[in-house]
Amino acid sequence: MEDYIKSLNHKPLTTQNNYETVELKVVKWKEFRLGNLIQKPYKAKAFNKDELEETTEQDFGIHYITRTSENNGCELIVNKKDIPSEFVEEGNAISIGDTTATCFYQADEFITGDHMVVVRAEWLNKLLGMFIVSILQKEQYKYSYGRAFLMERISDTIIKLPVQHNTDGTIFIDDKHKYSEEGYVPDWHFMEDYIKSLPYGDKL
C-alpha cells in the first residue's frame, strides 16, 4: 500500500493566496426570501442510473448529479455521446436533492437522477454559489424523506446575508425592492471576497 501511494503522480498542494481573512459579522446580516433572489426553481429531467454508461474519459464524460452527499453530488461520470441534449443542464447552477436537501454548486454542465431541483440566478457564479450553498446546507436538518425540500419550500426559505451599505455606513435601500420587501440588497462583492480569503481560495 505504501508503494502504491508513492507511485501516484501528484504535486503538493500550493497556494498563492495572500488575501486577508474577511471577518463575518453575521449579527449585522439581514433576512432574504430565497425566491426573491433566484429564478423559479425547476425539476431537472431525470436519468435512471442503469441507463447510463460510466466512463473514465473526462473529455467525453458528463457529471451525473444525484442526491448523494458525496463528491459534490456527482455519483458517476458518464459517456455523453448518447445523452439527448434536452437532458443536459448548463453549468453555473445549484443542484438540490429534494428528498435529502443536499445542495451543491455545479460549475460544469451535468445531467441528473430523480428528485433533483435546479436553481439559477442572474448573479450566480462559482464564488457566490459556494457561499450560498454553504448557507443552504445549514437548512438540511429540517428536511428528510418525510418532509422533502420541494420547490415551493426552496423558494420560501429564509436565509441571512450580508447587505450593501452607503459610504456613510448606513444600510443601502433599493427603491425598487428587487431582492427584499425592505429594500435590502445582498453584498455580492463581500461574499466573493470572503470565499477568496479562505485558505486555498485561489484554487477554486
Domains annotated for the chain, with CATH where assigned, are: 22-203 (3.90.220.20)
Angle among Cα 23, 140, 150 to the nearest 5 degrees reads 125
* Spans of the chain below 50 pLDDT: none
* Burial class of 58 by CB neighbour count within 10 A (0 to 12, 13 to 18, 19+): exposed
Q: Give residue 19's pLDDT.
A: 62
Q: For residue range 36-64, list pLDDT tens digits in order.
A: 999 999 999 999 888 898 887 777 899 99
- pTM listed for this prediction: 0.87
Q: Tell me the CB-side half-sphere exposure of residue 197, using CA atoms within 13 A.
A: 12
Q: Give residue 17's pLDDT.
A: 72
